[in-house]
């Protein structure tokens, strides 16, 4: 396929097959459920509309994401509004429109005063000591998580009292916890906390929202069936499957694996120390936080070359550390060869900077055809909203 590189490709069959596995796992273990697609993980308009068509709610965490959901046609009420940076207007509108709104901070409790009492129903995000329950697996082992109301120091209990004093119904519990491991232990802990808190506070919950953070589409990692079976077993001890919905908010698990990034070798350069293979892709497009040490990749060679002990594969930016990986004992790469990076759909396109080059083309591959769903950005798009006449 001779499309102009660099570009991303969304493999629609892989996406849909993987999503179906998730849906089946949920249906098997807790069919009274909602899947909220996490916009932040990849909010490409085609992607968010596709998940809407698959029946997902939109999981959003800012006024911009909230309005984006409305702009792509998400039905009223099919939004899950989370996070600390909601605006008052969209917060109140979302509640009145019947969205699922999970409060994260004190200011949101204050905002509830202006709502008529009959509309006062929210979910509450709990902050708990996940490191203690799953040593070595949390993201911030020393300082702890920063979202929601802390259970251990009594802030959660205070928030519950404040809500009850205002006649606010606590309709749901939000327990999203990002982890380093994405392991089953994390979801055992989350389900356990939900049960413990239910017992202590005697909630009458419409939903338990366990958040995202799962693996998906990777055969060597925990499978959807395992996550759902485990949580359902624990939760069913204290919650009635008919009465309380299970909400999940996957991002990475549903959009990570089915996207690849295609690049071309544009130059090969030898220095005193190394062979550098320069490509028209960039590390900023598949690892914008420059945190990964390896990438799933494959080659499309045009011809045969000698095996070389080491080639350093580089990106197009002028940053020295825009080096993607070292090809060790691999055939020599030549201009025109392609390098494809796999499983790069999560926290990539949405975090890439507009640095030196702008956003690349995106295609959807469906039935052997490539359909363009985003045109690469040019200076015209970059200039949008700039004000040059002062
Ligand atoms: C509240 C919430 N839900 C869902 C997600 C999605 O997580 P992931 O992409 O790891 O599945 C996140 C990610 O940070 C989140 O903060």
**Contact 253 CB / ligand 1 (< 6 Å):** yes
Phi-psi region of 230 (alpha: psi -120 to 50; beta: other; left: phi over 0): alpha
Identify the pLDDT of residue 274: 98
Residues 200 and 210 placed together within one structural domain of the fold: yes
CATH number of the domain residue 88 falls in: 3.20.20.10
Q: Which of 91, 70, 72, 69 is nearest to 82 (CA)?
A: 91
Task: Please compute the mean of the pLDDT values over residues 170-186 and round it to a whole number.
Answer: 97
**Contact 125 CB / ligand 1 (< 6 Å):** no
Number of neighbours of residue 328 by Cβ within 10 angstroms: 10
* Token code pair at residue 144: 């702890």
Residues 128 and 262 placed together within one structural domain of the fold: no
Domain count, the chain: 2
Residues 129 and 249 placed together within one structural domain of the fold: yes
Mean pLDDT across the chain, nearest whole number? 97
CATH number of the domain residue 330 falls in: 2.40.37.10
Q: Is there a domain that residue 6 lies in? A: no
Does the pLDDT value for residue 343 go beyond 80? yes
Does the pLDDT value for residue 307 go beyond 80? yes
* 12 Cβ neighbours under 8 A, 6+ residues apart: 50, 258, 364, 365, 366
* Token code pair at residue 318: 């002028």
Residues 109 and 237 placed together within one structural domain of the fold: yes
Residues 159 and 34 placed together within one structural domain of the fold: yes
Distance between Cα 40 and ligand 1 center (Å) = 8
Q: Is there a domain that residue 389 lies in? A: no
Task: Please compute the mean of the pLDDT values over residues 165-187 and round it to a whole number.
Answer: 97
Distance between Cα 141 and ligand 1 center (Å) = 18
Q: Is there a domain that residue 192 lies in? A: yes
Q: Is there a domain that residue 287 lies in? A: yes
* Token code pair at residue 254: 């549903």
The alpha carbon torsion through 290, 296, 300, 304 (nearest 10 deg) reads 90
* pLDDT level of residue 175 (50, 70, 90 thresholds): very high
**Contact 212 CB / ligand 1 (< 6 Å):** yes
CA separation, residue 164 to residues 100, 113, 255 (Å): 18, 12, 38
Identify the pLDDT of residue 211: 98
In DSSP terms, 149 is beta-bridged to 126
Identify the pLDDT of residue 20: 98
For residues 236 and 1, the answer to whether their CB atoms sit within 8 Å is no
CA distance 183 to 320: 35
Identify the pLDDT of residue 119: 87
Residues 238 and 263 placed together within one structural domain of the fold: no
CA separation, residue 84 to residues 88, 107, 111, 326, 349 (Å): 11, 9, 13, 40, 23
Does the pLDDT value for residue 1 go beyond 70? no
* pLDDT level of residue 88 (50, 70, 90 thresholds): very high
Q: Is there a domain that residue 355 lies in? A: yes
Distance between Cα 54 and ligand 1 center (Å) = 19
Q: Which of 255, 283, 310 represents a domain boundary (last residue)?
A: 255
Identify the pLDDT of residue 12: 98
Residues 117 and 16 placed together within one structural domain of the fold: yes
Number of the ligand 1 atom closest to the C-alpha atom of 254? 11
Residue that is written with structure tokens 């497009």 in the block = 285
In DSSP terms, 169 is beta-bridged to 121
Q: What angle do CA 382, 383, 384 make, to 5 degrees?
A: 95
Residues 250 and 119 placed together within one structural domain of the fold: yes
Provide the percentage of residues in the chain whose pLDDT is more than 90. Answer: 98
**Contact 252 CB / ligand 1 (< 6 Å):** yes
Task: Please compute the mean of the pLDDT values over residues 305-319 and round it to a whole number.
Answer: 97
3-state secondary structure of 110: helix
Residues 267 and 341 placed together within one structural domain of the fold: yes
Identify the pLDDT of residue 390: 85
For residues 349 and 359, the answer to whether their CB atoms sit within 8 Å is yes
pTM of the model: 0.97
Task: Please compute the mean of the pLDDT values over residues 329-356 and round it to a whole number.
Answer: 97
Number of the ligand 1 atom closest to the C-alpha atom of 255? 9
Does the pLDDT value for residue 2 go beyond 90? no
**Contact 346 CB / ligand 1 (< 6 Å):** yes
- For residue 360, the enclosing domain spans 257-383
**Contact 285 CB / ligand 1 (< 6 Å):** no
pLDDT tens, 179-222? Answer: 999 999 999 999 999 999 999 999 999 999 999 999 999 999 99
pLDDT tens, 244-296? Answer: 999 999 999 999 999 999 999 999 999 999 999 999 999 999 999 999 989 99
Identify the pLDDT of residue 56: 98
Task: Please compute the mean of the pLDDT values over residues 75-98 and round it to a whole number.
Answer: 97
| Burial class of residue 368 in the structure, from the number of CB atoms within 10 Å of its CB (0-12 exposed, 13-18 middle, 19+ buried) | exposed
């Amino acid at each position: 396929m001779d499309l102009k590189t660099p570009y991303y490709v969304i493999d629609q069959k892989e996406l849909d097959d993987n999503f179906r596995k998730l849906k089946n796992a949920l249906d098997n273990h807790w069919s009274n459920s909602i899947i909220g697609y996490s916009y932040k993980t990849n909010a490409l308009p085609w992607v968010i509309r596709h998940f809407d068509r698959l029946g997902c709610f939109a999981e959003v965490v800012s006024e911009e994401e909230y309005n984006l959901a409305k702009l792509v046609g998400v039905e009223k009420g099919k939004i899950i509004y989370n996070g600390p940076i909601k605006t008052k207007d969209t917060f109140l509108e979302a509640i009145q429109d019947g969205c699922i709104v999970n409060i994260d901070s004190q200011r949101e409790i204050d905002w509830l005063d202006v709502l008529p009492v009959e509309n006062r129903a929210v979910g509450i995000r709990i902050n708990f000591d996940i490191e203690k329950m799953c040593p070595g697996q949390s993201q911030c082992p020393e300082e702890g998580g920063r979202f929601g109301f802390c259970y251990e120091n009594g802030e959660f209990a205070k928030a519950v009292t404040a809500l009850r004093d205002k006649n606010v119904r606590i309709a749901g519990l939000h327990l999203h916890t990002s982890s380093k491991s994405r392991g089953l232990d994390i979801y055992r802990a989350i389900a356990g906390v939900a049960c413990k808190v239910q017992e202590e506070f005697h909630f009458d919950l419409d939903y338990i929202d366990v958040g995202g953070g799962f693996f998906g589409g990777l055969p060597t990692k925990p499978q959807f069936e395992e996550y759902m079976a485990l949580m359902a077993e624990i939760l069913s001890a204290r919650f009635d499957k008919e009465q309380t919905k299970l909400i999940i908010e996957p991002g990475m698990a549903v959009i990570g694996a089915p996207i690849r990034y295609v690049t071309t070798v544009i130059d090969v350069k030898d220095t005193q120390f190394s062979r550098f293979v320069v490509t028209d892709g960039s590390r900023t497009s598949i690892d914008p936080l420059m945190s990964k040490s390896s990438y799933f990749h494959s080659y499309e060679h045009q011809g045969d070359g000698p095996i070389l002990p080491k080639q350093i594969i580089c990106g197009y930016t002028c940053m020295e550390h825009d080096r993607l990986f070292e090809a060790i004992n691999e055939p020599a790469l030549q201009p025109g060869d392609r390098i494809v990076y796999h499983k790069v759909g999560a926290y990539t396109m949405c975090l890439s900077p507009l640095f030196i080059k702008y956003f690349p083309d995106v295609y959807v591959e469906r039935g052997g055809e490539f359909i363009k769903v985003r045109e690469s950005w040019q200076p015209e798009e970059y200039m949008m909203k700039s004000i040059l006449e002062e």
